[in-house]
Amino acid sequence: MAAIVEMKDVVKDYPLGNTVVHALRDVDLNIEAGEFATIAGPSGSGKTTILNLIGCIDVATSGLVRIAGSETVKMNDKQLTDLRLHTIGFIFQSFNLIGVLNSPGRPRVIAV
């Protein structure tokens, strides 16, 4: 099977004033097509950073991030949009729905 998500030697650093926050260091991850995976860990361990890279919301400082066989750093905005639209999906723990969307004429949105 082919990996739908592949990360190799991924590093992600964020500048914070005069210092650098090392959010990810040398991360390797392979998720095969059809495989169910979870990312778990304590607060500050890099879970959201990994999801942001997989979702093409952010780019790695270094290393390889490949989604569905394509290196995300080599993709243009349209290609990234198409990848997000047709390939990537997330199920969030908390929906953070906007109450204004529950107006007359719209379906009622309720988070349980």
pLDDT tens readout for residues 84-107:
888 887 776 666 665 555 555 555
pLDDT tens readout for residues 7-32:
999 999 999 999 999 999 999 999 99
For the chain, the first-to-last Cα distance in angstroms comes to 37
Please report, as a single letter, which amino acid is at residue 37. A
Q: What is the pTM of this model?
A: 0.78
**Residues belonging to the chain:** 112
For the chain, the domains span 3-86
Helix (H) or strand (E) holding 79: helix 77-86
Quick one: pLDDT band at residue 111, thresholds 50, 70, 90?
very low
Q: Which CATH superfamily is domain 3-86 in?
A: P-loop containing nucleotide triphosphate hydrolases (3.40.50.300)
Which residues, in sequence order, are CB contacts of 31 under 8 Å at separation 6+?
A: 3, 4, 5, 6, 37
CA angle 48, 70, 7 (to 5 degrees): 40
List residues bridging with 19 in a β-sheet. Answer: 16
Please state, for a pLDDT cut of 70, what percent of the chain lies above it. 80
Q: What is the model's pLDDT at position 7?
A: 97
Does residue 12 contact residue 53 with C-beta atoms inside 8 Å? Answer: yes
pLDDT tens readout for residues 56-68:
999 999 999 999 9
The residue to which tokens 């990994």 are assigned:
50
